[in-house]
Amino acid sequence: MMKNTHRAFRWPQPLEGQQARIWYGGDYNPDQWPEEVWDEDIRLMTKAGVNVVSVAIFSWAKIEPQEGVYDFDWLDRVIDKLGKAGIAVDLASATASPPMWLTQKYPEVLWRDEYGHVCWPGAREHWRPTSPIFREYALNLCRKMAEHYKDNPYVIAWHVSNEYGCHNRFDYSDDAMHAFQRWCEERYGTIDAVNEAWGTAFWAQRMNDFSEIIPPRFIGEGNFMNPGKLLDFKRFSSDALKAFYVDERDVLAEITPDRPLTTNFMVSAGGTGLDYDDWGYEVDFVSNDHYFTPGESHFDELAYSASLVDGIARKNPWWLMEHSTGAVNWRPINYRKEPGQLVRDSLAHLAMGADAICYFQWRQSKAGAEKYHTAMVPHAGEDSQDFRDVCELGADLALLGEQGLLGTRLAQSRVAVVFDYESQWATEHTATPTQQVRHWTEPLAWFRAFADNGVTADVVPIRGDWDSYEAAVLPSVYLLDEANSQRVRDYVAKGGKLFATYYTGISDERDHIWLGGYPGSIRDVVGVRIEEFAPMGDDFPGALDHLDLDNGTVAHDFADVITSTADSATVLSRFKAEPWTGMDGAPAIVANRYGEGATVYVGCRLGRDGLASALPAMCGSIGFDLPQGDGRIMRIERVSDDAGFEFLFNRSRERVTVEVDGEPLVASLGRVEDGRAVLDPNGVVVIKR
């Protein structure tokens, strides 16, 4: 369960005799290749400026080919070659994917789905975190790895397992059941407290004893799981994997206390499997894997996700552990990256606070399920555009490092957009006002709308310091417990500028509704009272599918029926609808004064475009000055006491020209002429100030 303090931040140090540089490299799977290829790899790594690789992530079956029989020779040889060439190693615990001998001997380590089906070996991550047997074997391997490599001068960090929960997030086995029972006992103390939290005085769900708690296994199509139980099962599942990670970490840390540790998260706008903000308390440095979303949101989603990672890292440097040079292999259609995007995407992560830029993977596989996943060295080899781009990026990173980028941090924005994993989990329940609305899309829409108005917001986890910003957005933050409701109250009372939307402050941490009219926990702060929701859709002929607002924007999917506003409130915008809807003239956007501060409540889903066009008036009403920037350009700044770097990205499909102050250190599909940056689509320039 939750901790109050983060583990001390520790960053991997350069190899002896080397200067600190921006780390650059990728996952390296030498075990997929004959040894002759390794020398060629090192030649190309050196050419590209690669200075770190992550090794042995999926190598358990090669390191321990039979139970208790270890083969480190190949790994020693490759680490030695790398290190001697000046390439550091981020060494995996190698525990992500167990070998066949283990699962054949102990099939009870395999996880089970909600129907009780076994997840068989054949891919990876087919283990359950609550298995005592798997724990014993994995911790044993961690111990062997740590003992073997504890004095190796080339190993600069531990890469513990890999993307926990990517495939084994939910396990419904009996091991999981018993662990879930213990977790509930720890959280609630008594079974009565669980009954109260889950609201089991309903459908005969009351339990007499912790042994009556079962995971949310299959309950029949079209039936509805107890929401409190489901929410807690998501918390438990994140915690069970975290506990497993912590055990692996502690074995490694005990033997090699001088090596910083991390495990790669999967933070993206819609990637909400584990509570990564909670996990962030348990790593020495945060690392993330991010894969681009094809299409029009590509850049914005990336910038948003990277900003959230920076928030999880509490503005300490973080490590981009994986992204792709081009197409991935796991979508139904695997779009390529457009020219310029390889360099641009990496620089965007860098701008958002990453001090390490790494890819999955170094050399594209020629066999196996990832043979169509692009890599730094593609199938075409050295003579390829991707490899030339990889070399260009390596040179850019080296230059930015020399020029002092290390040591700078992402500058704090004026605006915090709050993100909350648990609100996402609660809104995923299948018995809600509408299945069209979940938490995660709303923070992304606000981030984009602010960007359209020239403001690059910070995405801040709810446990973070969003209440230290000039303005904060609570975008469909559905769960607000007592403590967070009080934070909101204090923030605005002391002068904060708050934007809050529909579906915020609806329930407490148990998903019990705050009564008396929505948003029950902060009604006084935002000055509105809502008696009912008006979801919208087009699944029935003639159903209400949108609502126009008198400011020219249009709401889809969701509107609040605001029945009264506080005396201190001003209606900024009303619905304009036919009388039969009952919504004509009803308040849609409401400003309020509370204490020293002010709020704007947006009682409907406007989407990115609607928010972008409504923002100037909303900001005006709350006293937040929008800059006079060109929203087609995203400006991101990294600063320290004595240095500043400005990154300018073209978010649009057109060539854009903007005034700049300074000469570019790095430019891709962009240039600076006579004090003006000219940026093509996917273009970027980096300027030192």
Active site residues: 163, 322
DSSP code at position 259: S
Binding residue for ligand GAL, selected from 162, 262, 287, 305, defined by CB under 6 A = 162
Looking at beta carbons only, is 215 or 326 nearer to ligand GAL? 326
Q: What tokens appear for 536 in the block?
A: 């919208």
Q: What is the 3-class SS of 556-620, one letter each residue?
A: CCEEEEEEEECCCEEEEEEEECCHHHCCCCCEEEEEEEECCEEEEEECECCHHHHHHHHHHHHHH
Looking at beta carbons only, is 326 or 527 nearer to ligand GAL? 326
- Is 90 near ligand GAL (CB under 6 A)? no
The phi, psi pair for 209, rounded to 5°, reads -160, 155
- Is 166 near ligand GAL (CB under 6 A)? yes
Looking at beta carbons only, is 374 or 476 nearer to ligand GAL? 374
Number of residues counted as binding ligand GAL (CB under 6 A): 10
Work out how close the CB of 35 gets to ligand GAL at its nearest, in angstroms, rounded to a whole number. 22
Q: Which residue has the tokens 């889809």?
A: 556
Helical residues (DSSP H) of 60-154, grouped into ranges: 60-63, 73-84, 100-105, 132-149
Stretch that binds ligand GAL, among 69-77, 162-170, 182-190, 398-406 (CB under 6 A): 162-170
Residue 102's identity, in one-letter code, is L
Binding residue for ligand GAL, selected from 41, 64, 90, 163, defined by CB under 6 A = 163
What's the Rg (C-alpha) of the chain? 26
Looking at beta carbons only, is 245 or 291 nearer to ligand GAL? 291
Work out how close the CB of 163 gets to ligand GAL at its nearest, in angstroms, rounded to a whole number. 4
Beta bridge partners of 460: 418
Work out how close the CB of 552 gets to ligand GAL at its nearest, in angstroms, rounded to a whole number. 41
- Is 355 near ligand GAL (CB under 6 A)? no
- Cβ contact 90:28 at 8 Å: no
Instruction: Identify the three-state secondary structure at position 38.
Output: helix
Residues 362-391 that bind ligand GAL (CB under 6 A): 370, 373
What is the C-alpha separation between 422 and 179, in angstroms, rounded? 20
Residues 246-265 that bind ligand GAL (CB under 6 A): none
Stretch that binds ligand GAL, among 158-166, 387-395, 413-421, 468-476 (CB under 6 A): 158-166
Q: What tokens appear for 412 in the block?
A: 């704090």
Residue 175's identity, in one-letter code, is D
Of 223, 330, 616, 225, nearest in space to 452 by CA = 616
What is the C-alpha separation between 437 and 110, in angstroms, rounded? 34
The phi, psi pair for 385, rounded to 5°, reads -65, -40
Greatest alpha-carbon pair distance for the chain in Å reads 78
Looking at beta carbons only, is 328 or 643 nearer to ligand GAL? 328
Binding residue for ligand GAL, selected from 322, 355, 396, 442, defined by CB under 6 A = 322
- Cβ contact 229:125 at 8 Å: no
- Cβ contact 34:308 at 8 Å: no
Work out how close the CB of 330 gets to ligand GAL at its nearest, in angstroms, rounded to a whole number. 6
Stretch that binds ligand GAL, among 62-70, 160-168, 471-479, 581-589 (CB under 6 A): 160-168
Instruction: Identify the three-state secondary structure at position 21.
Output: coil
Looking at beta carbons only, is 164 or 533 nearer to ligand GAL? 164
Work out how close the CB of 27 gets to ligand GAL at its nearest, in angstroms, rounded to a whole number. 6
Stretch that binds ligand GAL, among 161-169, 269-277, 447-455, 534-542 (CB under 6 A): 161-169
- Rounded to 10 degrees, the C-alpha dihedral 219/225/228/230 comes to 70
The helix (run of H) or strand (run of E) holding residue 638 is: strand 633-639
Work out how close the CB of 238 gets to ligand GAL at its nearest, in angstroms, rounded to a whole number. 17
Work out how close the CB of 323 gets to ligand GAL at its nearest, in angstroms, rounded to a whole number. 9
Looking at beta carbons only, is 220 or 332 nearer to ligand GAL? 332
Q: Pattern 285-304, binding to ligand GAL, x per CB under 6 A? A: ----x-x-------------
Peptide bond just before 339 cis, omega within 30 deg: no
Binding residue for ligand GAL, selected from 154, 244, 360, 419, defined by CB under 6 A = 360
Helical residues (DSSP H) of 467-518, grouped into ranges: 482-493
- Is 327 near ligand GAL (CB under 6 A)? no
Of 62, 63, 134, 58, nearest in space to 102 by CA = 134
The phi, psi pair for 110, rounded to 5°, reads -75, 145
CA angle 328, 331, 332 (to 5 degrees): 130
Looking at beta carbons only, is 50 or 549 nearer to ligand GAL? 50
Work out how close the CB of 306 gets to ligand GAL at its nearest, in angstroms, rounded to a whole number. 17
Work out how close the CB of 341 gets to ligand GAL at its nearest, in angstroms, rounded to a whole number. 16
Looking at beta carbons only, is 118 or 328 nearer to ligand GAL? 328
Where on the chain is the footprint of ligand GAL (CB under 6 A)? Answer: 162-163, 166, 289, 291, 322, 328, 360, 370, 373
